[in-house]
A = this chain, B = another copy of it.
Amino acid sequence: MTTLQECRTRDAQDPLRSLRDHFSLPEGVIYLDGNSLGALPRATPARVAQVVQQEWGQDLITSWNKAGWVSLPQRLGNQFAPWIGAGPDQVVFTDTTSVNLYKVLSAAARVARADHPGRTQLVSERSNFPTDLYIAQSVCQEYGLELVLVEPEEIATRLTPQVAVLLLTHVNYRTGAMHDMAAVTAQAHAHGILCVWDLCHSAGAVPVHLLDANADYAVGCSYKYLNGGPGAPAFVWVHPRLADRPGATFAQPLSGWFGHAAPFAFTPDYQPAPGIARYLCGTQPIVSLSALQCGLDIFTAAEPLGGMAALRAKSLALTDLFIALVEEHCAGHGLELATPRDHAARGSQVCLTRGEGLGVQGVGSGAYAIVQALIARGVVGDFRKGDGGKHLDILRFGFTPLYVGFEDVWNAVQHLRQVLESGEWRKPEFNHLNAVT
């Protein structure tokens, strides 16, 4: 049985504790939704003001060179690359996850068509984040592939020589379950299948070793664990053996001027830039990109404190603690653990399910209402609706080791216990399912 005092002791001994001071969090809030929108770094407002007032307002167009706007996607990519096991000049921050996924899936489909003509399938998980499946549908339509959706336990048996591309999200957004990237990639490669990894719930949250895993393509967002701000530009990584593949056929289809070998030569013919730069397209939102840098700077500050190994150790300690405390303090209220107990298969979030029929009449499981009641108490998690079948309603809690502490976990569980024991989640104001986003 863990006590509040033990939680405080763990916070006091936490080597990453000082990183919390890099964030500006609202008073009285325990923020367990950094896997949806990361918190505001303290440095961001001043940096954004500088970009807007000085670089834009005073220096105007000269800032494209003088302030380095033109290379911001690359500079941020290089700053963050080590955190996903990528090399220099292999990552750019640009556009959105959906757009970047379109680029890499298209590129993969082209490579597969050239190297393994006749392959007919693009395999992904049925519970993948929907936008990934929507983009995959479009790419399948364009390249004459069939989109085959499978359950996670079926993946290994569905990797056959019919498959051109495997698209997986490393950490599942609903359950927090994590794939073994190296093992799955090796299985896929054994059948000549290209692997595309979505790192939205991994980047900055769990160790990722793209080069070591020998992955082919990866994308991810920066507004979750990277704390880049709402809708901050996403990233894209491509293994150099594929990024540099010669011939316009193997460039990605969004062939805008920022991905040109000589963007300011203004020549009428598209010539893809070497390497990852060809995955750039149009002019990027500089204010949003600049804000992102403050989020990445906190990772740089975490390096001398132990880097990703320390972040991962704390993340697992936080999620272990949350699981143990929920099971100890909230038993008997129908909550079940949806996230793997196995550390190797767990991301940085804990998801709980609640059986259908446990809620108040007409609103299903009560999971939505419980989340709303917690938010009213200042404990911010989120709710993901079930599909009425295998996937139940989910209460989702993200644990960002940069700013969540052990006492936060204790307090969050006490609030959850009180919400459940008092029955306050049954109040009508917490049961408006239409308000769900």
Contact = CB atoms under 8 A, between A and B. Distances in A.
A355 to B, nearest CB: 20
A420 to B, nearest CB: 23
A254 B45 contact: no
A405 interface: no
Nearest to A284: B231
Interface stretch (A2-10, A12-20, A130-138, A342-350): A130-138
Contacts of A53: 24, 40, 45
Given A24-B57, A40-B56, A268-B149, A96 B281 contact: yes
A264 B69 contact: no
Nearest to A42: B57
Contact of A437 (B37, B70, B288): B70
A229 interface: yes
Size range of the chain A interface in the assembly: 35 or more
Contacts of A308: none
B234 A52 contact: no
B134 A256 contact: yes
Copies, count: 2
A326 interface: no
A296 to B, nearest CB: 15
Contact of A268 (B45, B98, B130, B283): B130
Contact of A135 (B36, B255, B284): B255
19 contacts: A24-B53, A31-B60, A39-B60, A40-B52, A44-B52, A45-B52, A49-B49, A69-B231, A98-B282, A130-B267, A134-B257, A137-B270, A141-B248, A142-B142, A142-B253, A223-B283, A230-B283, A230-B285, A288-B288
